[in-house]
Amino acid sequence: MKILSFFSILFLSLAVFTSCNNSENKEIYKGKKPNIVFLLADDMGYGELGSFGQKEIRTPFLDSLASVGKRFTDFYAGTSVCSPSRAVLMTGLHTGHVNIRGNKGDVNGVWDRVPLKKSEKTIGEMLQSAGYQTAMIGKWHLGVPEDTSTWAKGRGFDYAVQEQWGKDVNGKEIDERVHWVNNNQDSIFYNYNKHKCLDEFRTNFALDYLDKKSSDKPFFLYMSYRTPHAHEFFLSKTDLYADRIEEWPEIERRHAARITMLDAQIKRLFHKLKASGELENTLIVFSSDNGPTNENHHSYKFFNSSGDLKGFKRDVYEGGVRVPMISYWKGKIAEGTTTNHPATFYDVMPTLAEVAGTTSANKTDGISFLPELLGKDNQQKHDFLYFEIQEGKGVAGFKQATRFGKWKAVRMRDKYHTELYNLSVDLYEEKDVSKEHPELVEKANKILKRESVKNPHFPYSGGVFK
């Protein structure tokens, strides 16, 4: 049975137009600026929460948050793999413009990690300038191990606790279990035998931060979780879903357990905010960096993690880029509401800029979705959404996609063919209608050619066209 309802297909937004930040929502708070908490799962598929149709994995807290907040049914990650998607989130630039287009790129002839440019300002830097104290805990994945100025601490976060891997400036291999506090100020080893999961360990840092931060300034907390990424280093023993041992492979039981444990850690953080009196003035957003993982012997099909959408992590079909999104802001966001407004990671910077009463740090590709959060009738829409990814040195790893209104175009490697799908009747991208609509294919190709700016790190940027 299809998880996504017929009604979500019926109400796909057809009216589209672009604009900069809204100017009609200036007075959204009185007194102290609102706090902002952004919660990011790692490789969580569209269908892995109960509130988005999951039937087996229990996520009671996030489901309850959706019931008192707003679900976005048409929300998109920056692209379909970790580093470039997070780059889009942090900079407000889509993957045709941002410096990072894949997990690795060409760096002086070596295929290696590519950092954000220093000229690409982050949400952290933007909110610091707006008077916020800022914190990032977890997976950064926007720098290089040998240059700590590219780590979160050097990119706009007053307090940063992050994992790292690869070789440091002295050529020494970094243990990814070590979490680095403010670069080299301190390092704390993650002992998996002492914690239920890595995200419990990280949440402990967040709770400690909330205890020690200044009460005189608003804060931005970016929680970058590990779950349900398939390559957590080690996981302690868990009895969650022990009753399913006979029917579920162990890798799938642990996958489900980790998602349920993440749900519990987010609950801990929420109740900490509530107990401290901060919750009433805090915007909370939960999402995922891309579609579901299909690695390390885990199958995204076992729990229908993509919610029947086509594709998974590293695909630019809907299953690779459409992700769950839940927003909560007491007294501001109407409880138990749902929107099909198409929004994406590069909209987050202008949205948080408007929330904070400031302007975007970059010439963003995004549009603030604050009016949609607040239930206003002046929400502006994109002419199109754009996605690009380059995974590996060869042309086979280059993919592009664009959504414009009800239409979705996908172009893969060097096939020299642009697929076209009508999402209003074919949400699962089963019927390529490109032959029936050559004028729409031409429109899509113009977008794909124009939006992909050449980048020396990614040889097929600019598109693969004859």
Residue with tokens 């301190």: 186
Give the span between the Cα atoms of 228 and 290, in whole angstroms.
11
Please tell me the total number of residues recorded for the chain in this structure. Answer: 466
For 423-447, what is each residue's pLDDT tens digit? 999 999 999 999 999 999 999 999 9
Q: According to the model, what pLDDT value does residue 29 have?
A: 54
Averaged confidence pLDDT in the chain: 93
Residues 6+ apart with CB under 8 A from 413: 395, 396, 397, 398, 399, 464
Give the span between the Cα atoms of 244 and 225, in whole angstroms.
26
Residue 400, pLDDT > 50, answer yes
Residue 40, pLDDT > 80, answer yes
Q: According to the model, what pLDDT value does residue 439 have?
A: 98
Binned at pLDDT 50, 70 and 90, residue 237 comes out as confident
Nearest to 373 by CA among 333, 326, 331, 330: 333
- Rounded to the nearest 5°, which phi and psi values hold at 72? -105, 115
**What is the radius of gyration, based on Cα positions, of the chain?**
21
For 317-368, what is each residue's pLDDT tens digit? 999 999 999 999 999 999 999 999 999 999 999 999 999 999 999 999 999 9
Binned at pLDDT 50, 70 and 90, residue 241 comes out as very high
Residue 23, pLDDT > 80, answer no
- Rounded to the nearest 5°, which phi and psi values hold at 287? -160, -170
Give the span between the Cα atoms of 95 and 390, in whole angstroms.
10
Which amino acid, residue 166? G
Give the span between the Cα atoms of 32 and 214, in whole angstroms.
13
Lowest-confidence region among 24-28, 75-79, 438-442: 24-28
Q: According to the model, what pLDDT value does residue 30 have?
A: 61
- Rounded to the nearest 5°, which phi and psi values hold at 246? -70, -25
Burial 225-256 (b: 16+ CB within 10 A, else e): bbbbbbebeeeeebebbeeeeeebeeebbbbb
Tell me what percent of the residues of the chain surpass a pLDDT of 70: 93
Give the span between the Cα atoms of 371 and 108, in whole angstroms.
44
Give the span between the Cα atoms of 79 and 97, in whole angstroms.
12
SS3 for 403? strand
Binned at pLDDT 50, 70 and 90, residue 19 comes out as very low
Binned at pLDDT 50, 70 and 90, residue 28 comes out as low
Q: How far apart are the first and last CA of the chain?
A: 41
Binned at pLDDT 50, 70 and 90, residue 5 comes out as very low
Structure tokens at 259: 């998602």
Q: According to the model, what pLDDT value does residue 6 have?
A: 39
Give the span between the Cα atoms of 342 and 333, in whole angstroms.
17
SS3 for 220? strand
Binned at pLDDT 50, 70 and 90, residue 130 comes out as very high
Helix axes 250-276, 198-212, angle to 10 degrees: 10
Asked if residues 72 and 325 have their Cβ atoms less than 8 Å apart, the reply is yes
Q: According to the model, what pLDDT value does residue 199 have?
A: 97
What stretches of 14-114 adopt beta strand conformation (E)?
35-42, 70-72, 75-76, 105-107, 110-112
Q: According to the model, what pLDDT value does residue 20 have?
A: 42
Residue 278, pLDDT > 60, answer yes
Q: What angle do CA 254, 223, 50 make, to 5 degrees?
A: 50
Prediction pTM value: 0.94
Residue 204, pLDDT > 90, answer yes
